[in-house]
Amino acid sequence: MQLTAKLIQVMPVQTGMGKNGEWRKQSIILETDGMYPKKVCITVWGDKINESLLQVGNILDVSFDIESREYNGNWYTDLRAWKVDAAGAGGSVPPAAAPTNNQQSAPSAPVNFSSDEGDDLPF
């Protein structure tokens, strides 16, 4: 999955030792845009942690996987980032073509459902 949102909080880096050696992870809190903004916590692991990119206020494109697991009858969901880029740097949409919050799309013409003009349906 992919999410474009504003970075509002960076949690401290956590480290530890596992059977495969040392590990590092850092949780980041993102806030979506829109009428009803949502906060989302995503975990960044290992070499994906980029302190220069993970600055509060940056707009990020985050690609992540969702996984849920059960422990003692309770379910826990983890959002694990596998790619973090500055918004627009992913290459899927050129920055000039991406709409901004200040731009509004032109309203489309209303559809008149009461007329039979151009009705190709046989019923």
Q: Please give the residue range of the domain that contains residue 46.
A: 2-86
Q: Which CATH number is 49's domain given?
A: 2.40.50.140
Tell me if 79 sits within 8 A of 28, measured CB to CB. Answer: no
In total, how many domains does the chain have? 1
Cα–Cα dist 73/56, whole Å: 36
Beta partners for 28?
10, 42
First-residue to last-residue Cα distance in the chain: 42
Q: For every one of its 123 residues, what pLDDT tens digit does the chain have, with 9 covering 90 and above?
A: 999 999 999 999 999 998 989 999 999 999 999 999 999 999 999 988 988 899 999 999 999 999 999 999 999 999 999 999 998 775 444 344 444 455 455 555 555 555 555 556 565
The verdict on residue 109 lying in a domain is no
The verdict on residue 59 lying in a domain is yes
The verdict on residue 37 lying in a domain is yes
